[in-house]
Structure 1
Amino acid sequence: MNNGQKQFHRLLRVLLPIVILLGIVIGSFSVSRAQIGAQTAHNYVKATVTAILQDDADGLPFNGSQLVRARLTSGTWKGEEAELSNSNSYQRGALCQEGTKIIALVQQGSDGVISGSVYNYDRTGMLWGLLALFLISLLAVGGWKGAATIYALAFTFACVIFLYLPLLYAGWNGIAASALTAVVVLAASIYILNGWSRKSVCSILGTSLGVCISGGLALLFGSIGHLNGFHMSEVESMVYIANASKLRVGDLLYAGVLISGLGAVMDVSVSMAAAMEEVHAKAPELSPWELFRSGMTVGHDMIGTMSNTLILAYTGSATGALLTIYSYEMPFLQVTGYNSIMIELLYGLCGTIGVILTVPIQAGITAFALRHAKKEFVC
């Protein structure tokens, strides 16, 4: 492959995902969303506290209430001042002092006076700073590969917003919507990071089968255990949305299992395919069975770490529920009826089983491709 062809393939790796994403974005506009938000004159704006007018909080967070004056720093009334009530509670409000940056919910009365309440701290600066640190770290450590990773992550995020969510909202079966999104994200991410090659094709096939196994197991055992999207913690909001759309609430649990396991399964598949291709390049005389065994050896080391990764990730998201069980010394039978815990177990175990079974699947696919493909192709 000459330099001109290499440059063309690199350009294609940048432009082709953009073309696909444009098609997805344009298609998402065909989904009509009903207006279900409250129709009020309230606006969320940034503000900075300039004075504390009343203070019953005693300097303690999540205690008492406050009345503050703040200067609005964004929105229609930028530069104006408003009096804001502050509940200083667990989920809403903030412990305000002069100079505290907040998000305010404001409205303008018929007399022109702007008033409202403190919604929460203004965390946008923290968010942008953390995001910048993340991107800088990727670029500094990963170089051009880090830049490709950022591109792949942006593509994935866009697919979630413009493909996955619209499909669910439009009434698609949860497994079908998540499977389609997973395949698109998978193919595009591997292509962006590694180009189009025999290794990429093997990784895509192995990952697709692995995530389908996870989703299928979730559907099977969720049905056996009478678990579905109606048992999720956000079910009230989902039902409210479903009343104004075609959303199938019951499918959301299974869709989440398939999507959540995608990253770990893809990591295993790509790593195994790369390792087996390297083994084949160094020892081309190895038989398919010997290549398969080499792949299984690599996979054995990955199973433990990936299984721990998934279980600990789901444990982190269920920490509140686990602490409740521990503190109240709930008996085993009560725990098995605790929806939040059973859902996290379903997510963790089905995702981990998908990772485990991906190892022999990927080893078999890659061994077959390496020994039977007539020649390598790279794009």
Structure 2
Amino acid sequence: MKKNWKKVLVGTLCLVGFLLLLVKGNQFEKVSLISTEGQSYEKAVVTKITKDNLAEDGNRYGTQEVRVQVKSGAYAGEEFDAVNPSGSLFGMENCEVGSRVIVIVSSTDDNAVVTVYSKDRTMAIYLFVLFFCLVICIIGGKKGVKAIASLAFTGVCIVYLMFPLMYRGISPIGITIVVVILSTLLTLWLLGGVSKKTVSAVVGTVSGVVVAAVAAVVFGKAAGITGYNVSDIETLNYVAQNTHIKIGQLLFSGIIIAALGATMDVGMSIASTIQELHERSPQLGTKELFVSGIRVGRDMMGTMANTLIFAYVGGSLSTLVVNYAYNLSYNQLINSYVIGTEIMQGLSGTLGVVLTVPITAAVAAVLIGKKKIVKEPLMQDIYDGADDYEEPETDGEYGEDV
């Protein structure tokens, strides 16, 4: 009971401290980069198509004119005539009666101009997230619930801790490493509890992420690639001029976050494997446990390396296809900032994952290898010892032991 109360007390203090940090970190005013006065994004339903833009060839050109009933905000319940641009990135491709949309309401004095912004995807997103959580909880049981909790905690850390502190001028790389440590501690604690296995996995995961960050910075300096060579640098420069965000470090912070999941997976797997080996064969020494961890890790390196490389390729597939279509020369392609950045991200993240294996194996072999396994007596041992059992000598009327 005392141990439970101590755990509850420590957990409560940590939670209160974390919440106070979130509140303190978000107590600031953002600089207004664009004017949104009199403009709001509201939910609406299309009630009528007043002018369609469907051509005879079956394609849509220009804009579509519709009537919508606003469902939220100051104009809830009112109907307005709206314009639907029908673009690929702006507006809805084809509005129909009953379509749920998001509209931009621009109001001045008593007048309001309404434009269709996009399809209302809120319900689809909520249902998909709910389905995702249910599948993980059903298949993973309690572990699945803990995984969802750790994922939510990481999201809160990124949105309400990392972003605000970056906005206030804190080093993006430094605060990202702090968030990685917090996320790793909570996630692995929920999955493995307070144990030597968890400590080993935490040390290996954090070390792997730091290795990925260092490798990216070193490669970036050698190849002349910085955070100012990204495609949206003009927008970032405008943001940097009006805020304290150090945009040059954002690229490397992204590499750290991207490598976290894979390194955590490898770290926990290696630590769990070494603990299981030790419990099954307690006679194995530190060296044998380390070698076994390395052997298991070798099988994981290939798949995890592919995981990160494929993830980065998938994220930039459109750019790669465009480069292929333009038939760029090798020298032009390999020396472009886009390709150099993708190579830096993929290889540095993979390097962090690979080095997580020996680091976790070494720490786990040292810590877990020292754990003493108390072997419980088997029933056969009890039966064998029964033959040597002798009745104690007694004396006295009531047979008291001598």
**Aligned equivalent of 1:29:** 26
Deviation at 1:340, TM superposition (A): 2.6
Instruction: Name the counterpart of 1:108.
Output: 107
In structure 1, the residue matched to 2:175 is 177
- Structure 1 counterpart SS, 2:242: coil
Distance in structure 2 (CA, Å) of the matches to 1:194 and 1:19: 23
**Partners in 2 of 1:16 and 1:359 — Cα distance?**
34
CA displacement 1:100-144 (0-9 Å, x = unmatched): 11110012343x343221111111111011011011111111111
Partners of 1:13 and 1:93 lie apart in 2 by: 51
- CA–CA separation in structure 2 for the residues paired with 1:20 and 1:374: 36
Shift of 1:304: 1.1
Q: Does 1:47 align with 2:44?
A: yes
Work out whether residues 295 and 363 of structure 1, in 8 Å CA contact, stay in contact via their aligned partners in 2.
yes
d(CA) in 1 for partners of 2:120 and 2:59? 16
Match of 1:288 among 286, 289, 307: 286
Larger Rg: 2
Counterpart Cα distance in 2 of 1:174 and 1:275: 34
1:74 match: secondary structure: coil
Task: State the match for 2:73 in structure 1.
Answer: 75
The range that moved more, 185-194 or 365-374, is 365-374
- What whole-Å deviation, never above 9, does each CA across 1:251-270 have from its counterpart, x for those lacking one? 11111111110110010001
Report the TM-score when normalising by structure 2.
Answer: 0.87
| Deviation, structure 1 residue 77 | 0.9
How far off its partner does 1:41 sit?
0.8
From the superposition, tell whether residues 34 and 108 of structure 1 become closer, same or farther in structure 2 (CA, over 3 Å). Answer: closer
- Aligned partner of 2:47: which letter? T
Counterpart Cα distance in 1 of 2:358 and 2:119:
49
**Does the aligned pair in 2 maintain the 1:288–1:371 contact within 8 Å?**
yes
Where in structure 2 are there 5+ consecutive unaligned residues? 375-402
2:293 aligned partner, one-letter code: G
Q: CA 1:181–1:146 in 2, change beyond 3 Å: closer, same or farther?
A: same
Q: Which residue of 2 aligns with 1:156?
A: 154
Relative to structure 1, is the Cα distance of residues 36 and 6 closer, same or farther in structure 2, using a 3 angstrom cutoff? same
Q: Secondary structure at the match of 1:56?
A: coil
Contact conserved, 1:49 with 1:68, CA < 8 A, in 2?
Answer: yes
- Tell me, in whole angstroms, the C-alpha distance in 2 between the residues paired with 1:258 and 1:243: 25
Indicate if the aligned counterparts of 2:39 and 2:106 stay in contact, CA closer than 8 A: yes
Q: Aligned to 1:168, which of 161, 166, 169?
A: 166
State the secondary structure of the residue aligned to 1:230. coil
Looking at structure 2, the residues matched to 48 and 302 of structure 1 have their Cα atoms a distance apart, in angstroms, of: 50
Amino acid at match of 2:96: Q
- Contact 2:45/2:101 (CA < 8 Å) preserved in 1? yes
What does the per-residue CA deviation read over 1:50-74, in whole Å, with 9 as the maximum and x for residues that have no partner? 1111222439676321111100111
Question: Does the aligned pair in 1 maintain the 2:102–2:117 contact within 8 Å?
Answer: yes
Alignment of 1:349-368 (within 5 A): 349-368=347-366
The aligned counterpart of 2:321 is 323
Aligned to 1:126: 124
1:58 equivalent to 2:55? Answer yes
Q: Distance in 1 between matches of 2:19 and 2:9?
A: 15
Unaligned residue ranges in structure 1 (runs of 5+) = none
Q: Map 1:1-379 onto structure 2 (within 5 A).
A: 4=1, 15=12, 18-58=15-55, 63-94=61-92, 95-110=94-109, 112-372=110-370
| TM-score, normalising length: structure 1 | 0.92
Aligned partners of 1:305 and 1:17: how far apart in 2?
Answer: 36
Identity of aligned residues (%): 33
* Cα deviation 1:216-246 (Å, max 9, x = unaligned): 0000101111212212223222222211211
